[in-house]
Structure 1
Amino acid sequence: MSAIAIMSDDKMDTAPFDPRFPNQNQTRYCYQSFVDYHRCQKLKGEDYEPCEYFKKVFASVCPNSWLEKWDGQLDANTFPGKI
């Protein structure tokens, strides 16, 4: 799986290194960023800008098919994670 660049206003970056996930397999980093984003929005509200960091990370690390599945699970209240 190749890293997709995170787009900002004037530069492109990949997801930054996270010492909690030191290995090349980024599955846990993907999942945790997705969960952290939704927890942040739940606690702080949808307009809270710092939550966007987690969205940018999971958008660059996670396969789109996983995101579609998880979004569907969130809508159906069947997502297995604690948000």
Structure 2
Amino acid sequence: MSVIDKNYREKCWLARDDYWKCLDMNKEDKEQCLKFRQLFEASCPITWVTHFDQKREYDIFKRQLALGQVETDKLKSLKQQPTH
């Protein structure tokens, strides 16, 4: 794995934050944020993009769970998934 320098990381994180801010402002409407998404993907390694996408989904799930907004069926399906 290559070493990624500080400027590259900061550019990636800024692009990620801008994309997430757009999603927040547009109620997760990805169509409204395509330009930010493209910049995010161009600024970060694909493995990072995948990681950050999964992190955002998990953070949203945790927030909804804390607010009691997660459907019971979704919780049941998560409990039935095998763990590694």
Provide the TM-score with structure 2 as the length reference: 0.52
Higher normalized contact order (CA 8 Å, seq sep 6+, divided by chain length): 1
Match of 1:77, SS state, is helix
Q: What runs of 5+ residues in structure 2 fail to find an aligned partner?
A: 61-84
**Deviations, residues 21-80 of structure 1 (Å, cap 9, x unaligned):** xx983211111111111111211341664x3222111111200111111111111118xx
Q: How many residues align?
A: 56
Q: Which runs of 5+ in 1 are unaligned?
A: 2-22, 79-83
Structure-1-length-normalised TM-score = 0.53
Cα pair distance change 1:47/1:59, threshold 3 Å:
closer
Q: Secondary structure at the match of 2:17?
A: helix
CA RMSD of aligned residues (A): 2.7
Choose between structure 1 and 2: higher strand proportion: 1
Larger Rg: 2
Among 44, 49, 52, the residue aligned to 2:26: 44
Identity of aligned residues (%): 21
